[in-house]
Structure 1
């Protein structure tokens, strides 16, 4: 639950890895269960609701995507998660690396690319947020227990108030999703739902 009201003038929405390969039924990781869990979570409708709300507020919205850079082993192989990515999945410039239909960035919404887990690692996210005077980061996207969790942890470590929208995130399955919410993010982030958050301007 949110512990205090939001100052919407100092809040940004950060969307993580809402890409075809991660979520779409024809994506590279659909067989892992990720596409099915996204449907269970009503991920796309909830993120659309968040986007509509944030745009009405003229809130900063930053899209963050993980990509495989072709031409070399730029992602490394030091951890299993990085060995999962590429050479065709999430390939820069491919349909799989593109945003899900209806969740694309519009003019004025930066799209940051990276090849690490956290949205803060290897991008200008922290600088953009500080330049805007942002103190609260609302995070939605995939996968809850991987890139979303890493981004929230880094947001906390960078001094931001981190908030996760629990029904606008999804993972491989409900167990992995629940592990992040029940254990890993305890005492790290505040939890809210799409309806709770978007009611802030009611």
Structure 2
């Protein structure tokens, strides 16, 4: 964990892969009530909620964009992954539109944010929560699969993605691979991602997706913001 000694002030990578936090966006993945607690909770996700909320506050403080990626399963299961379609079609209420279980986990959204708008999200539009903070619906593991995410990030001039949320083997991992294929500089928030373990580190570093702690990311965000301000 890059969190001790002078290593916490170093940005990993080379000229092509080094994260540029002054041009970074935070992606939170599937941080919804049904995945945090209850019969369909994903192990470890409840425990990372405070860390993901802390990351979101750090990005707001740095005036950097945040995108919360969410699932919304229709009652007939028609838009669910095939591995979950039978479960949803049999009557399981899992991140159903307008349900309490579909809302973002407590502490993740800015003060005064409106509740999720399923009709808007399912239409493929991004829903604004605050200046620089949006929600986007994703129909599959990757945040880039049939979503407006790439266009949204391009419009903001983002070249670096910090990924956190639920849960490493599935959606964060798929998102990181797809982001790498689109030439983004990549950071995985290791202590804000459920399912992350030491087995994941060599895989991520092997594709230049750097595993950093929330503390290190906070520090690097502040450093880049201060550097940008000094050049202004």
TM-score computed with the length of structure 1 as normaliser? 0.82
Offset of residue 138 of structure 1: 0.4
The change in CA–CA distance for 1:75 and 1:38 in structure 2 (over 3 A counts) is closer
When residues 66 and 72 of structure 1 are mapped into structure 2, their CA distance, relative to the original with a 3 A threshold, is: closer
Aligned-pair CA distance for 1:9: 2.6
Give the match's secondary structure for 1:144: coil
Structure 2: runs of 5+ lacking an equivalent: 3-10, 111-128, 224-232
Match in the other structure for 1:70:
75
Deviates more, 1:119-128 or 1:98-107: 98-107
Match of 1:110 among 130, 134, 137: 134
**Are the counterparts in 2 of residues 137 and 160 from structure 1 also a CA contact under 8 Å?**
yes
Report the Cα offset of residue 29 of structure 1: 1.6
Give distance in 1, aligned partners of 2:185 and 2:76. 38
Contact 1:11/1:137, CA 8 A, preserved across alignment: yes
Q: Aligned residue pairs: how many?
A: 187
Deviation of 1:140 after TM superposition, in Å, equals 0.5
Residue 133 (str. 1) matches residue 157 (str. 2): yes
Q: What's the counterpart of residue 29 of structure 1?
A: 40
Confirm or deny that 1:94 pairs with 2:107.
Answer: no
CA drift at 1:184: 4.2
1:122 match: 146
1:8 alignment partner, one of 21, 37, 49: 21
Q: Distance in 2 between matches of 1:168 and 1:100?
A: 13
**Cα distance change, pair 75–178 in 1 and its aligned pair in 2 (3 A):** same
Alpha-carbon shift at residue 49 of structure 1 (Å)? 1.4
Deviations 1:6-57 (A, max 9, x none): 4333111111000011112xx2323xx61xx235xx4122112111110011
Q: Secondary structure at the match of 1:178?
A: coil
Q: 1:195 to 1:179 in 2, by over 3 A?
A: closer
Deviation string, structure 1 residues 50-97 (Cα, Å, up to 9, x no partner) = 1111001100101100120234522252xx355555641111221111
115-124 or 1-10, which deviates more:
1-10
* Alignment partners' CA distance in 1, 2:32 and 2:158: 25
Residue 178 (structure 1) aligns with: 197
Q: Aligned partners of 1:75, 1:19: CA distance in 2, in Å? A: 16
Q: What residue in structure 2 maps to residue 19 of structure 1?
A: 32
- Whether the 8 Å contact between 1:145 and 1:180 is mirrored in structure 2 is no
Change (3 A) 1:82 1:118: farther
Q: Look at both structures and tell me which one has the larger radius of gyration over its CA atoms.
A: 2
